[in-house]
Structures are given as C-alpha cells and as structure tokens.
Structure 1
Amino acid sequence: MYTKVLSYIRDNNLIKPGDKVLIALSGGPDSVCLLNILFQLKEELEIEIAAAHLNHLLRGDDSYKDEEYVTNICREMGIRYFIKRVDINEYSKEYKVSSEMAGRSVRYDFFDEILKKEGFNKIATAHNANDQAETILFRIMRGTGLEGIVGIKAFRDEKIIRPILCLGREEIEKYIESKNLKPRIDKTNFERIYNRNKIRLDILPYMKANFNEDIVQTLNRMSVLLKKDNEFLEKLSLDLYNKYCVEYDDYFIIKREIFREEEAVLNRTLRHAITKYSKSNYDFEMKHIYMIIDLAKKESGKVSELPNQIYVENIYGDIYIKRKKEKLNTINIKEEINLNKNNAHNNTIEFRNYYIKFSVMNNHKENSINLNESNLIKYFDFDKVNGIISVRNRKNGDKIVPLGMNGSKKLKDIFIDMKISKDERDTIPILCFDERVAWIIGVRNSEEYKVTAQSKNILKVVVERKEY
C-alpha cells in the first residue's frame, strides 16, 4: 500500500521535499487512510503534515462527534490540527447556493486561510479511484466534454493534491481494518436521495456485476489515457489565449481573429478567459461558450449576460469581458472643474479617477521637450489660452480640430474610428481651453493649441490614474 501510494506521488510530482501538507480530515475512512499513509511516509518524503477539519453542523450530534474524533486522533499522532465550525445551511440560504456548493466554498476558504497564516503550500484531499469512477459517470450523464471525462485531477491549482487517487475503496477499507482505525461513518453516504450516492450504491455495482467486474479501474485507466489528449489541447488553447486575449484591470479583450480557429481549442480558450476573469471555475457551461461565439457574429454594441455578474460585449468584432457595475450615485460627482489661467502654474486638480497636474514653462525652445513623450503627458501653447481651463465629461456635439488636420471632427466619430467602447467613452476626461476641446485625454489632442517654434509660454499637462 505504502509503495503504491509513494510511486503515485512521485509519478505525478505531487509532493516535493520541504513541502508543508495540510490534510483535509473529515474523520471518514478515506481521509483517515490518507492521514495515516502520509504520516508513515512523511520522513521518506521529507515533509511536514497537519490536519484541518470543518464542522458543517449538518448532522446534529454526529457533527460534534466527528470533530471530537479528529481532535483525538491528531493528538494521539502528535500532529497539528485546525478546527472550524460553520452552519452550512445558514450559509447556503444567505448566498443562495446549494448545500454542496456552500460546503465546498467554505471548506476551501478555510484551507486557504490556514495556508496563508501557517505557511502550508499543499492541500491533500482523500479522493480515491472509486470517487474518480463515480465522477466520470456523473459527468457523462449530465453531459460533458473531454475535460469532464478526465475526471478528478491528481494535482490542481498548484496546491491541491490527491495522493490516494490510485487506491480503490476496497483497498482503503482493508487498510483501515488492518490498522484497527475505527473511522467515523457518515450515514448520509447511504441515502439514495443524492444522485452521486445512487451511482455509488446502484449503478457501479450493477455495471460490475453485469458488464465488467473491473469497471472502477477501467474508468480510471480511461481517465489516464484521455488526460494526455486533454493536456495537449490545453496547451494549444493556452497558446491561443496568450496570442489573442489581452488582460486589463477592469476587463479582458478577446481579439476577433481567434474566432477563425478550430472550435475544439477555441471553446477551451474562451472558457479559460471567462473563468480567469471571474475567478470561478464552476459557474459556466457550454451554452455560455456558444453564446460568446454567437455574439462575435453580431454587430458591434451587442451584449450577452453570463453568470457571476459577468457580461460580454461585441465592440467592433472584439469581445470584451466585463463585470456588471452598480449605478453610480452621481449627486456628488463633479462633471466639470474650472481653473483660471492665472492659477494654472504648479496646480493639480482631481477629476474622477485621475490627478491632472498643470505647470507653465517660460522662454521655452521647442526642441528641448519631447512632444511625443507619453499619451498622458501633453504640451500646449499657453499664450493661446485666454482665460478658463476646464476638465469635464464629454458633451453631445463636442468637436476638436485633431492635430495635423485643418477641419474639426466630432468626438463621437473619433471614438468610433478608434473603436473605443461606449462605456469607456464616458470615463475619458476632456481638457478644454475657453470652452474649446484641447485634448481628449489619452486619445487625441488639438491642432489649435500645438507648440511651435514661435511658442513662448508652454503649458505642460500630466495625467495620472489613481491607484486603489
């Protein structure tokens, strides 16, 4: 048994010398088996172990007896342990999720909390070969792709490991009996009100008795074979992601060229984009991927809503992934700030998410400044400004004489030409001199106020985005 698990750990690179492994210990047979095996192997693996138990408060006195059992077994073995109690039913009601999802969320939040505070770097869970077979069948019946049939991964998210995924339930039960460990038994595992229990208690035994007595290992072997194909497709999709997806703080962009790629890798790339943006692996289904593909075929401006407060928008063929925002209370938000020309030198104003700094340079020679220094640093002929400098939101009918042109152009047309989304247009500050647009900040500045060899006094404007 120890040799088999040790080989599995090494073959899958689950544990390295020096790792601090936190064992998810429910008190049931599987987790008690895992605890004892890692305890026996910790010297050879050169690791430190501890246990974590979350009391879900779902089974009355049994929940407290589970907690007591975990406490006692850890004390007897001389290992550190962490206990937490959470009323999963109350959590489920508050966040409007199933008890299963609530339990999983709270459990892993608890584990992550311990990792951060105590310096552990791996979480070991007690999934076994029977769990793998049950998961594969469960996903097939719900409808899944190749990744779903691969089942439970031995190593996930660079921290979650399944060291006894190679062991069948019968092997675990024999080990428990031979060591006289007397684990806790969760009676709900034998109730057929849960679909997964029906697979465990009815479907797998029927398949074993009537079709294949080695069905559990057969499904596990299939999982290992498909894992290699899945990893190849994952690599291709990651290459596509790096090529066509751009990450910003508030949104992601999926470039239109990606939709020419083969659907097998396109689907995976889109899933990776929305799960990475939303930081959730469990809210999205295949129908949401098809929704994005369909959106890419529509005209600019069309929007589709996804779960987890996410939506996608077609902006000139590119797909923007964004998060829904609450409507701003605009009562106390200034839409325009005015500054007298005489007060411009060494003055800074705050407008929305920006700091805008003004300074005046006297007796200046044109070639001593870099006019193309940055999109957020611009220079203007200060002598052409008569009185008022203002920073404001855009207004209907706004026009500018773009640098290098003679005639004026509407700001709306500039935004359309530069493929700036409607949402983003309302966040861009407009710098005006005497009510004439001098600079669409970060986008385009005006010909009317450009610096020339004859300019004597120069206004330097530096824009900085606030950091949060």
Structure 2
Amino acid sequence: MRKVDDWLSELSTLAREEQLWQPGETVVVAVSGGPDSMALLHLLHRLSGQERLTLVAAHVDHGFRGEESAREAESVRQYAALLGIPCETALFNLPAYIEETRMNAQAAAREKRYAFLHQVAHTYGAARIALAHHADDQAETVLMRVVRGTGPGGLAGIAIRRKEKNVELIRPLLRTYKADILRYCEQWAIPFSQDSSNGQKYYFRNVVRLDVLPYLASFNPQFSQSLVRLAELASAEDDWLEQETKAIFERHIAPHSEGCQLNRKALLGLHVALQRRLIKLILSYIGLETETTSFESVETIRIAASDGAAATWSFDVGSGVRFLREYDNLVFTRANKGRMTPERSGYAYVVTRDAVRLALPEAGADLSLEEWAGVDAPRPNNRHEALFDADSLEFPLTVRNRRPGDRMQVLGLNGTKKVQDMFVDERVAPSRREVLPIVVDANGTVLWIPGIRRSRHAQVMETTSRVIRMMMRVNLDASALNQLE
C-alpha cells in the first residue's frame, strides 16, 4: 500500500520523467467532483508550491442528472475555494445538443467538455490540462479496444501526455489505481461525489468495469495490472515505431498536387509493419482522420503496391481521399471542390512567332522558345527539348492538353499513332495524361509531346536557315514529369 508521504515524491518524479509540466506553468485541472479528480486537485495543490504551478479548476455540468449534477458542481466550487484555487464552471444542455447533432451521448459530452477545457486554458494562458484518468481506466480502455478490434497502437491505451491543439493533456494519476485514490481521499478527508450513472450498464465502459473485468479477474486476479503493463509496453514500442515511420516519411514522400506521392519500390522495401504505418501516416498527412481508417483500407493500398497487382489502379479511401497506383508511382490526393481541374476544364495557350516563354501551371512546367541560325543550333539534350525548322512551322502554335482523337505522325514511323496509345507505351501515369502539354500548329497538326515524342513535321535539315528550339522545364512540384526523362 502506498504511504501518504510517498504520493508527492512519486508524482514529482513522474512529472520529471514524463515531462508533465514545467515549473512556473499554469495548469487547468478538470474536476468532475468524483474521488479521482478531487484527489488530483488536492495533490496538485500540495505540489504547486515546490513546482511553482498556478492551478485553475474547471468543472462541466452536462445537464444529464438535474439536481445531482448541480450539487456536484457546487461541491467542486466550494472545495476549490477552500484550497484557494479559482474555479470555472459550465452548464450544458447535452440532451438538446444530442438531439440536434444526433451524436451518441458520450461523444457529445466529450466534445463539449473538451471545448470548455480548452476555452479555460486559453483564458488563463495555461499550457496544460490535467485529467484524472487512472490505471483502472487504462485497463478498461485497453480491454474495450481489444473487444472492438484494434492494432498494436490501440493497445497503448490512454497516453499519459498528449498534445491537443496548443495545449498538453496530462494524466498524472494514470499509473495509480482506484483503490489507492480512495484511500488517499479518506486519509485527507477529501470530499467527493459518486456519479449515479457509473452504475448504469447502458454504457459499454460500465459493462466492462462492472461485469467483464471482474469475470476475467476470476481467472487472473492481476488481470487489470496485466492490461496496464501491456499498455506501457505497447506505448513505448508504438512510440519507437512512430518515430521510425516519420523518418521514412521524410526520406521518401514527395509533394504532389493536392497530396503527396511515394515510389512503390521504396514502400515494398520496408517491413510490412512499417508499410502499414507509413500508409496511415500519409493518409493523416493529407487530412484523413486515421482513427476511423479501417485495416481493410490500409491493406487494399498495400496490396495494390505489390509486384503482382495492376500497374495502374485507383481506390477511394473515403472523405475525399483517393489513392492511385501509376506504375511505380503511388499517389495520395484529397479532392478540392473549389478547384477546376484540367480533366474538367482543359487548357490551351496560343504561341505567336515572337513568344519566348510560356507558363503552363496545369502541367507544372514552362515552355521556352529560342531562335537560332541553322548551323549554330545546339542539339537536344533530352526529350524535353526539340528543334524545328522555323520557316516550316505554321504559326500561331497552340500548347494544350490532349483531346479525343489526337494522333501524331511520329518521326521514324510510317503512318500515324494515337496519342493515347503513346501515353500507354511510355507508361505515363493516368493522372498525368490529362495535363501533359501537346504542341500543335495552326492547322491542328501535333508537332511535339515534350518528354514523349516529336513528329516528322518541320524537321531541321542541312538547308534549314532558322531553327526554333523549344525547351520544356518541369517545376519542382511536378516531379512526375521527370520520370519521363
């Protein structure tokens, strides 16, 4: 049994080890009126002198239990006043809010409660919000997640310290069991209320607490302690894996319009555990709430990247997030409803004889034109450069994206070839096919597709006196085009 005098030294040591607070900070203490939160308020009050902490109590009456919850609010105010701690309270009509939003009761209560706690923290300039979750809560949480289905990260349970918005949520009692908290309240004559709803089996957590855990403890009296120990181990391993995943993200993830992209072989080179975590981190990065991302969705993406899967494929992950495999490029995008995409609008820019540079934002590239004397024109360095006989070009030229039926008389081939077939042959990603620029002359003849092929029109001969040198330069955020070089 923990001695009364041990509480402060143990809590002070825990605070240093877990960086729960820094001396001189303001801490908002969430106080429901039950034994856990009242003991936490008392403990932090005793520590506040040596730790130089400024405390603010915050209490929420959810409006579920009428006079009972009103009495709890009054007891919190009175006890905070006895300790000389300012107390902020709020009364919500949760039944009406639930009716309006159709949220479940626990989720609605948590949303309103945390919003109020953050409001109080902002008002007082607090860096921390202290919550009274304890070891028994941890055991219940881990077991609930196992029952509902969870991965290794879920076994970590409740975090002892977690950033939310601009405030740190801390749980100083997370390694302390309820029985010890009740003894502490008794030894210090700390008043507290008992929430009658804690005995109602309407809530899943109450069923776990009242029925499931006691039943399992009949097979292992230390079952709750085993769950807490499991959470400690899982938390440390989950933290290490998360750091490894973030390092991989920094090395391999590249920007892409409205999302990001990853080389398929880089993903396959990782252990399967890191593959799954990296996919979830990418989905989180582009704005998907990964708490609700199913294992099946992650596996669908992971398997789609395998060697035996289709070379081009797409998958709607949900909430506007889309995954595309485009050969060896894996693309994750989030739809932007306010943006007109090239697929819907197309683009076309006129190029006159005196043009020297043309910006192509849809393609993430620039086209430059230079005129040279025939004998002086440098030869192209790559397929993003091409030379044309200036006197054979029919101006004005047009630079546009592809259109149905586009064909080219390819240099070195007889007849014509569909532009669509050329894109397939060159393994151009489907998402790039609608934005890649095509240069056509005044008659609509396809002259050149930068990075792909040029036509046999306006070839430079020994007799050519003037040469137009065209060069396509890809911007950094359009790295998919670089794969064509």
Matched, 1:153 2:162: no
CA contact (8 A) 1:299 1:317 kept: no
Aligned to 1:141: 147
Identity %, equivalent residues: 25
**1:199 Cα deviation (Å)?**
1.6
Matches of residues 40-439 of structure 1 in structure 2 within 5 Å? Answer: 40-60=46-66, 74=80, 77=83, 79=85, 88=94, 97-108=103-114, 111=117, 119-157=125-163, 159-208=168-217, 210-248=218-256, 250-257=258-265, 258-259=267-268, 261-296=270-305, 297-316=308-327, 318-324=329-335, 335-337=346-348, 339=350, 341=352, 386-398=394-406, 411-413=419-421, 415-416=423-424, 419-428=427-436, 432-434=440-442, 435-436=444-445
Report the Cα distance in structure 2 between the residues aligned to 1:50 and 1:445, rounded to whole angstroms. 70
The AA in structure 1 aligned to 2:45 is F
Range 300-309 or range 353-362, more displaced:
353-362
Report the Cα distance in structure 2 between the residues aligned to 1:260 and 1:360, rounded to whole angstroms. 42
The AA in structure 2 aligned to 1:306 is V
Deviation digits for residues 122-166 of structure 1, max 9, x if unmatched?
333221011011112222223334333332222234833221112
Report the Cα distance in structure 2 between the residues aligned to 1:94 and 1:249, rounded to whole angstroms. 37
CA gap of 1:103–1:251, structure 2 versus 1, over 3 A, is farther
- The alignment's TM-score, normalised by the length of structure 1, stands at 0.74
CA contact (8 A) 2:38 2:191 kept: no
Aligned to 2:4: none
Report the Cα distance in structure 2 between the residues aligned to 1:95 and 1:146, rounded to whole angstroms. 32
Report the Cα distance in structure 1 between the residues aligned to 2:179 and 2:102, rounded to whole angstroms. 37
CA contact (8 A) 1:309 1:324 kept: yes
Unaligned runs of 5+ in 1: none
CA gap of 1:82–1:282, structure 2 versus 1, over 3 A, is farther
Report the Cα distance in structure 2 between the residues aligned to 1:411 and 1:381, rounded to whole angstroms. 23
Report the Cα distance in structure 2 between the residues aligned to 1:179 and 1:465, rounded to whole angstroms. 65
3-state DSSP class of the match of 2:207? helix
Report the Cα distance in structure 2 between the residues aligned to 1:108 and 1:249, rounded to whole angstroms. 35
CA contact (8 A) 1:431 1:438 kept: yes
Matched, 1:36 2:45: no
3-state DSSP class of the match of 2:42? helix
CA contact (8 A) 1:283 1:308 kept: no
CA gap of 1:243–1:178, structure 2 versus 1, over 3 A, is same
Report the Cα distance in structure 2 between the residues aligned to 1:390 and 1:83, rounded to whole angstroms. 67
Deviation digits for residues 313-348 of structure 1, max 9, x if unmatched?
332254433335659789xx86445547389689x9
**1:283 Cα deviation (Å)?**
0.3
3-state DSSP class of the match of 1:278? coil
CA gap of 1:305–1:459, structure 2 versus 1, over 3 A, is closer
**1:78 Cα deviation (Å)?**
5.1
Report the Cα distance in structure 1 between the residues aligned to 2:458 and 2:122, rounded to whole angstroms. 54
Deviation digits for residues 284-326 of structure 1, max 9, x if unmatched?
2323332223333531333334344434333225443333565
CA contact (8 A) 1:21 1:120 kept: yes
The AA in structure 1 aligned to 2:179 is E
Report the Cα distance in structure 2 between the residues aligned to 1:425 and 1:68, rounded to whole angstroms. 67
CA contact (8 A) 2:387 2:468 kept: no
Aligned to 2:17: 11
Deviation digits for residues 87-143 of structure 1, max 9, x if unmatched?
555665666653333444454455556667765433332210110111122222233
CA contact (8 A) 1:394 1:426 kept: yes
3-state DSSP class of the match of 1:252? strand
Report the Cα distance in structure 2 between the residues aligned to 1:15 and 1:288, rounded to whole angstroms. 38
Range 197-206 or range 80-89, more displaced:
80-89
The AA in structure 2 aligned to 1:316 is Y
* Bigger Rg over Cα: 2
Range 191-200 or range 218-227, more displaced:
218-227
CA contact (8 A) 1:53 1:84 kept: yes
The AA in structure 1 aligned to 2:42 is N
Range 70-79 or range 139-148, more displaced:
70-79
3-state DSSP class of the match of 2:292? coil
CA gap of 1:4–1:362, structure 2 versus 1, over 3 A, is same
